[in-house]
């Protein structure tokens, strides 16, 4: 179950992004969604046109995932909110958890980063239209294909990158697996505009919360600008899947992801440790 207030201005895009984000919780465990129900909070007096567009965006994204919207629930609230409660299925022997990463594994991230700074720039009315379009395309892309390819490649651990940012969700994987994750900043992919907005210190409030909580488990092994460090704690919406996969399968999985439209990259590897995240230039 996942729902949140609008992150973009267009109601249809908001509905599609929120649906894709909720579906990712099933994909991140290697599962296949079966159905979903709408979760809606909506103010009195707004009229039904915006709500119709939100629900249409969610319904069409669910249709793309191959599942029905089988009802839902609506409450009155001062701010619109939308999301889904998703029911999925996975064989017990094929569940992919956060806790299976092994020393020597390669780390693959299936989507570029930067949705938090770009949507914050939009809220401040300084975002370039092309950057917003790129962010919407990234956030509304389903992780369905990435999850299917991850299952086929036998990945050892997987999680989706959302509100805790790259560092936060990586640290959850490292802690659950009893390892350290080593990542290269230069290997990361970024949505167009993200680095520029980061350099202008255009960050959502959640970045600071993530940094304060997860910073103690993070080691920057090199020289970084402050904004580069901050970008790694930037909260994401409907981000990609972080996968730990055997090194001999990494290049094949990366090629498959890219051939199927994911802007994926090998961003680091897994080493023995105690739950730390090491960031190298």
State how far the Cα of 57 lies from the Cα of 229, in Å rounded to an integer.
34
Average pLDDT for runs of 10 along the chain of length 281: 97 98 98 98 93 98 98 96 98 97 98 98 98 98 98 98 98 98 98 98 97 98 97 98 98 98 98 98 98
What interhelical angle do 247-259 and 144-153 show, nearest 10? 150
Torsion of CA 100, 18, 88, 110, to 10 degrees: -40
Give the pLDDT of residue 95.
Answer: 97
Note the pTM of the prediction, 2 decimals. Answer: 0.97
Cβ contact 166:263 at 8 Å: no
State how far the Cα of 140 lies from the Cα of 266, in Å rounded to an integer.
22
Helix, strand or coil, per DSSP, at residue 271: strand
Q: Are strands 2-4 and 81-89 parallel, antiparallel or unpaired?
A: antiparallel
Give 223's DSSP letter. Answer: -
State how far the Cα of 182 lies from the Cα of 170, in Å rounded to an integer.
10
- Topology of domain 2-93 in CATH is 60s Ribosomal Protein L30; Chain: A; (3.30.1330)
Q: Are strands 106-109 and 265-272 parallel, antiparallel or unpaired?
A: antiparallel
Give the pLDDT of residue 47.
Answer: 87
Give the pLDDT of residue 253.
Answer: 98
Parse the chain into domains and list their residue ranges: 2-93, 97-280
CATH of 97-280, one of 3.90.650.10, 3.40.50.720, 3.40.50.300, 3.60.150.10: 3.90.650.10
Torsion of CA 100, 165, 209, 184, to 10 degrees: 90
Give the pLDDT of residue 278.
Answer: 98
State how far the Cα of 150 lies from the Cα of 26, in Å rounded to an integer.
13
């Amino acid at each position: 179950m996942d729902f949140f207030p609008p992150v973009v201005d267009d109601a249809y895009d908001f509905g599609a992004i929120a649906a894709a984000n909720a579906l990712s919780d099933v994909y991140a465990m290697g599962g296949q969604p079966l159905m979903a129900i709408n979760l809606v909070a909506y103010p009195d007096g707004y009229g039904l046109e915006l709500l119709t567009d939100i629900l249409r965006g969610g319904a069409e994204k669910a249709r793309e995932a191959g599942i029905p919207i089988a009802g839902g629930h609506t409450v009155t609230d001062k701010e619109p909110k939308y999301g889904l409660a998703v029911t999925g299925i996975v064989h017990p022997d094929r569940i992919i958890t956060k806790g299976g990463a092994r020393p020597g594994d390669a780390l693959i991230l299936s989507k570029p980063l930067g949705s938090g700074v770009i949507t914050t720039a939009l809220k401040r009315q300084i975002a370039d239209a092309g950057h917003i379009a790129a962010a919407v395309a990234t956030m509304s892309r389903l992780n369905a294909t990435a999850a299917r390819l991850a299952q086929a490649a036998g990945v050892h651990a997987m999680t989706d990158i959302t509100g805790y940012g790259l560092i936060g969700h990586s640290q959850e994987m490292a802690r659950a697996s009893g390892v350290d994750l080593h990542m290269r900043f230069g290997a990361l992919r970024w949505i167009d505009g993200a680095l520029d907005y980061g350099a202008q210190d255009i960050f959502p409030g959640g970045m600071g919360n993530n940094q304060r909580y997860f910073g103690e488990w993070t080691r920057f092994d090199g020289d970084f600008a402050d904004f580069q460090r901050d970008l790694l704690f930037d909260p994401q919406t409907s981000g990609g899947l972080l996968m730990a996969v055997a090194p001999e399968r990494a290049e094949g999985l990366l090629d498959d992801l890219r051939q199927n439209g994911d802007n994926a990259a090998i961003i680091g590897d897994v080493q023995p440790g105690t739950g730390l995240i090491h960031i190298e230039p």
